[in-house]
Structure 1
Amino acid sequence: MSIGRKEALAVGVGVLLLVAAFVVPDLHLGIVTPLIKMSPGELKSFADAAPIFGWWNAHVGWGTVPAILIGAAAVLWGSTIAQRLSWRALTLTAWATSFAWAFALAMIDGWQRGFAGRLTSKHEYLRQVRTITDIPEAVRTFASRIVDFQPNSWITHVSGHPPGALLTFVWLDRIGLGGGAWAALWCVLIGSSAAAAVLVAVRALSDEPTARLVAPFVAVAPTAIWIAVSADGYYAGVAAWGIALLALAVRQRVRWPWLAATGAGLLLGWGIFLNYGLALMALPAVAVLLCAVDWRTAIRALIPAVLAALAVVAVFAVAGFWWFDGYTLVQQRYWQGIANNRPFQYWSWANLASTVCATGLGSVAGIGRVFDIKAIKARSGLHLLVLAALAAIVFADLSMLSKAETERIWLPFEVWLTAAGALLPAFTHRWWLAVNVIGALALNHLILTNW
């Protein structure tokens, strides 16, 4: 396989980031380190496998064989199948494959440790669910409980997110789907659907042949390691479908574009009440609007989308939670915790190494081809979406509110980066897919990830 100059440069930078991020913690370079002012035990707990949040632990599980088989099948036959299936069958197959891939990767760590128990740890949402006896009261007093070191403070993950995230798991519990296994299934099911959403968006904004090239890359992306099973996988799925519906609206690929735009606004509006960082999905949304048939179509899609998103904001405001209050207070809570001990001098660039792990070097190679001035001027949907996702990551990184754990936190942006592999020459796709699959399998077998 010959490697072009652009992808060689991108992969070279990616490999350099990976090597530096994994090696620097052992060099004791003062403040250029994952953690400061921490005991050896705390370093082991929070930075053993930095820049990935996890612990070095070579292991196998009953998910090992299925994961290898799914990955191998995608490499050997994924591109061929993507060309032969009907469009509807392809989107469903991409979703199903992504789900199976994520579940198999989780099962490498075992049922309890890798799946059912992930969302039941002391910092996770399910520990808070049992304390919610009055949902309206919980929403009304939500902001007052964000700041730490008070008797009624929310636990870590609840305090770090708007109330929509907690409400989701409370509602699941109320309808009889309580416990770690159901919560994990919800996150994997919604998170893996992002594969189908990306295909829908790329087909609407570029064309179907391009979307078919994307399919294998999103179906077995390394992001699946953290989609199974973190709540951020759920957030990524919601945001991805919001962008996909907006793409259908601006390109008028549905009978009622206004309805698709309204759905997009509801999902993206709900998204910012799941995760404050999803406000940055405004950048992919702008990329979609730039691909509109004309400016009038863009406006016709934008108005119902914005009104629908504002309706979500209004519902929460009436219920007693104002988003901007929560965002201000969560920054205070953020600096009350371990963020104070995570130096920006390391994480400003090690975050990007985590993103390389989550998207795979095959996708990084594709990113090397996204800076194509001719394609950008032609408003190529795939190029603009990937660039917008990259811009969102840069802003998130510079905010200093995402130091570490970004392989999980940036999933809503990373799922779009995985599509960049389609920009590579078609005859190299199998090899780059293999690089992604092998990388994901190696990570999941060598590191016991926290998510």
Structure 2
Amino acid sequence: MSIGRKEAIAVTVGVLLVVAAFVVPHLHLGIVTPLINSSPAAIKSFADTAPIFGWWNAHIGWGTVPAILIGAVTVAWGSSVAQRLAWRTLTLTVWATSFSWAFALAMIDGWQRGFAGRLTARHEYLNQVPTITDIPEAVHTFSSRILDFQPNSWITHVSGHPPGALLTFVWLDRIGLGGGAWAGLWCVLFGSSAAAAVLVAVRALNDEQTARLVAPFVAVAPTAIWIAVSADGYFAGVAAWGIALLALAVRRTGRWPILAAVTSGLILGWAIFLNYGLALMALPALAVLICAASWRDAVRALIPAVFGALAVVGVFVVAGFWWFDGYTLVQQRYWQGIALNRPFQYWSWANLASVVCAIGLGSVAGIGRVFDISAIKRRSGLHLLILATLAAILFADLSMLSKAETERIWLPFEVWLTAAGALLPVRARRWWLSANVIGALALNHFILTNW
């Protein structure tokens, strides 16, 4: 396989970033290190495998063989099958493959350690669920409990997110689906559905053929390692469908474009109450609007979507939670914790190395072809979405509110970057897809990821 100049540059930069991020922590370069002012035990707990959050642990599990088989089958026949299946069957197949791939990767770590127990850790949402006896009161007083070092402070993950994340797991518990296994299943179902949402969006903004090229890359993306199991997988799925429905509304390809626009607004409105950082999904949303056939089509989609999002905001305001208050307080909470000991001098670029690990070198190679002036001028949806997502990641990185754990935190953006593999030359796609699969398998077998 010959490698084009653009792919070679992108992959070289990606590899150098990853190598440097793994090597630098062992060079003792002062503040250019993952963790400062910390004991050896803390460094072991939080920076053992920096830039990835986890621990060195070569292991196999009963998910090993299924994961290898799913990856191998997708590499061997994924592209050809994607060309032959009916569209609806393809989207469901991609979702099912993505779910199976994520679940198999989780099972490499075992049922309890890799799946059922992930969301029951002491800083996770499920530990807070039993304390919620009055949901309206919890929402009304939510902001007052964000800051740390007070008797009624929320636990780490609850305090770091708007109330929608906690409410989701409380509601699951209320309907009899409590516990780590059900919560994990919820996150994997939503997270893996992002693969189908990306297909829907690309088909609407580009064409069906391009979407079919995307299919294998999103079906077995390395992001599945963190989609199973973390709440950010759930957030990624929600945000992806918000963007996909907006794409349908903008291009007016569905039966009810106004309904699609309103639903998109409702979903994206809900998304910002799951994760403050999802406000940056405004950039991919803007890219979708730019792809409209005319400014009138963009406005016809935008106005109902805005009303849908404002409806969600209004419900939370009535319930007693103002998003900007929460966002301001969570920044203070962030600097009350380990963020103080995570130097920006390392994480400003090591965060990007985490992204490379999360999307795979095959997707990095595809990103090398995104900076195509002619494609941008003709408003290719895939190109614009990936560029907007890269911009969102850059803003998140420079905010200094995302230092470490970005392989998980940035999942809502990373799922779009995995689609970049469709931009690669035909003869090279299978090789780059195999690079993604091998990378994911290697990472999951040699590092016990925290999420």
Under a length normalisation based on structure 2, what TM-score does the superposition of the two structures give? 1.00
Following the alignment from structure 2 to structure 1, what is the Cα–Cα distance between the partners of residues 291 and 433?
28
Alignment of 1:230-245 (within 5 A): 230-245=230-245
CA shift for structure 1 position 312? 0.3
User: Which residue number corresponds to residue 50 of structure 1?
Assistant: 50
User: Which residue number corresponds to residue 40 of structure 1?
Assistant: 40
CA shift for structure 1 position 426? 1.2
Following the alignment from structure 1 to structure 2, what is the Cα–Cα distance between the partners of residues 180 and 133?
19
CA shift for structure 1 position 293? 1.4
User: Which residue number corresponds to residue 87 of structure 2?
Assistant: 87
Q: CA RMSD in A?
A: 0.3
CA shift for structure 1 position 255? 1.2
Letter in structure 2 aligned against 1:325: D
Following the alignment from structure 1 to structure 2, what is the Cα–Cα distance between the partners of residues 391 and 416?
12
Alignment of 1:20-419 (within 5 A): 20-419=20-419
Letter in structure 2 aligned against 1:355: V
Instruction: Name the SS of the counterpart of 2:131 in structure 1.
Output: coil
Instruction: Name the SS of the counterpart of 1:130 in structure 2.
Output: helix
User: Which residue number corresponds to residue 441 of structure 1?
Assistant: 441
Following the alignment from structure 1 to structure 2, what is the Cα–Cα distance between the partners of residues 427 and 199?
21
Can you list the C-alpha shifts for 1:273-328, whole angstroms capped at 9, x where unaligned? 00000000000000000001100010010000000100100000000000000000
Following the alignment from structure 2 to structure 1, what is the Cα–Cα distance between the partners of residues 331 and 309?
23
Following the alignment from structure 1 to structure 2, what is the Cα–Cα distance between the partners of residues 30 and 56?
23
Can you list the C-alpha shifts for 1:377-417, whole angstroms capped at 9, x where unaligned? 00000000000100000000000000000000000000000
CA shift for structure 1 position 351? 0.1
Q: Which runs of 5+ in 2 are unaligned?
A: none
Following the alignment from structure 1 to structure 2, what is the Cα–Cα distance between the partners of residues 394 and 377?
22
CA shift for structure 1 position 256? 1.2
Letter in structure 1 aligned against 2:125: Y
Following the alignment from structure 1 to structure 2, what is the Cα–Cα distance between the partners of residues 267 and 293?
24
Letter in structure 2 aligned against 1:412: P
Q: Which runs of 5+ in 1 are unaligned?
A: none
Instruction: Name the SS of the counterpart of 1:274 in structure 2.
Output: coil
Following the alignment from structure 1 to structure 2, what is the Cα–Cα distance between the partners of residues 8 and 185?
38
Under a length normalisation based on structure 1, what TM-score does the superposition of the two structures give? 1.00
Can you list the C-alpha shifts for 1:165-210, whole angstroms capped at 9, x where unaligned? 0000000000000000000000000000000000000000000000
Q: Does 1:426 align with 2:426?
A: yes
Can you list the C-alpha shifts for 1:338-365, whole angstroms capped at 9, x where unaligned? 0000000000000000000000000000
CA shift for structure 1 position 13? 0.1
Identity %: 85
What is the total number of aligned residue pairs between the two structures? 451
Instruction: Name the SS of the counterpart of 2:133 in structure 1.
Output: coil
Instruction: Name the SS of the counterpart of 1:193 in structure 2.
Output: helix
Following the alignment from structure 2 to structure 1, what is the Cα–Cα distance between the partners of residues 92 and 278?
26
Letter in structure 2 aligned against 1:326: G
Moved beyond 2 Å, runs of 4+: none
Following the alignment from structure 1 to structure 2, what is the Cα–Cα distance between the partners of residues 42 and 419?
36
CA shift for structure 1 position 105? 0.1
